[in-house]
Amino acid sequence: MIMLASVASSWAQKGPSFRADVNFMASDWLFLSKSSSTSMGLLPSLRVGGAAEFAVSKGFYVAPGLAYSIKGFKNTVQLTVPATLTMRFHYLEIPINAGYRIDLGNKLNVSVEVGPYVGFVLFGTAVREIGSTKKTNPLFQTESEISRFDMGIGTSLALGYDRYYLNFGYERGLFNMSKKKTDVSLNNVSYMIGVGMRF
């Protein structure tokens, strides 16, 4: 209790600092069974987010945030003509990270973060392309076999100069996106690189 009171007092005195970033993201679904792990195919996408950083002690901080991200996969098979399935899911995510920042001098710094996130799909689309034929279907308008909820863990490394930083991140979903009761699990995975600014 004394420790919690001390942390709360520190937050109240200093107040949070804020940041925002934009990331290019490569998303995928992992098709997991008991004996194998298969990538469905990388989908170029986007993540935009922000966070509030609360200092805990020298170098250490907690950063709850809010982000909009596009996840999914793009899978192409070669039949008599190429056939492609692209699934896009537009998520609202809440990450809560613990971080540590090192001041390198000359306005340079490096920070690492790790923590859980929860996400909810706002809407989604499935695009099927066979040769020159393309068909787009909205998802979740009726009962879906795909879950709208996701949870997982994320980690990132940021290289900063003054208020600006270059961010490298990774997210791994731990929740099975398939509602079917089988031995197969479908999990989100995302790789990202982006730029941001602290305020």
For the four alpha carbons of 65, 116, 166 and 162, in that order, the dihedral sign comes to positive
The 10 Å CB-count burial string (b at 16+, else e) for 32-61 is eeeeeeeebbbbebebebbbebbbbeeeeb
How confident is the model at residue 65, as a pLDDT?
98
Q: For residue 146, which phi and psi values (nearest 5 degrees)?
A: -105, 135
Strands (E), the chain: 17-32, 37-39, 43-57, 60-78, 82-105, 108-130, 133-139, 149-161, 164-173, 185-198
Q: Which token pair is 144?
A: 């879906």
In sequence order, what are the residues at sequence separation of 6 or more whose Cβ sits closer than 8 angstroms to the Cβ of residue 124?
Answer: 72, 87, 88, 89, 90, 138, 139, 140, 146
Query: Given its phi and psi angles, is residue 87 left (phi above 0), alpha (psi -120 to 50 degrees) or beta?
Result: beta
**pLDDT, tens digit, 9 for 90 and up, residues 87-98:** 999 999 999 999
How confident is the model at residue 13, as a pLDDT?
57
Half-sphere exposure of residue 152, counting CA atoms within 13 Å on the CB side? 20
Give the count of beta carbons closer than 10 Å to the beta carbon of residue 111. Answer: 20
pLDDT > 90: percent of the chain: 78
Q: How far apart are the first and last CA of the chain?
A: 31
What average pLDDT does the segment 3-17 reach? 60
* Residue 149 burial class via C-beta count within 10 angstroms: exposed 0-12, middle 13-18, buried 19 and up: exposed
Q: Is pLDDT larger for residue 1 or for residue 73?
A: 73
Band of residue 3 on the pLDDT scale cut at 50, 70, 90: very low
Domains of the chain: 16-198 (2.40.160.20)
DSSP state of 16: -
pTM: 0.87
Is the pLDDT confidence value at 123 over 50?
yes
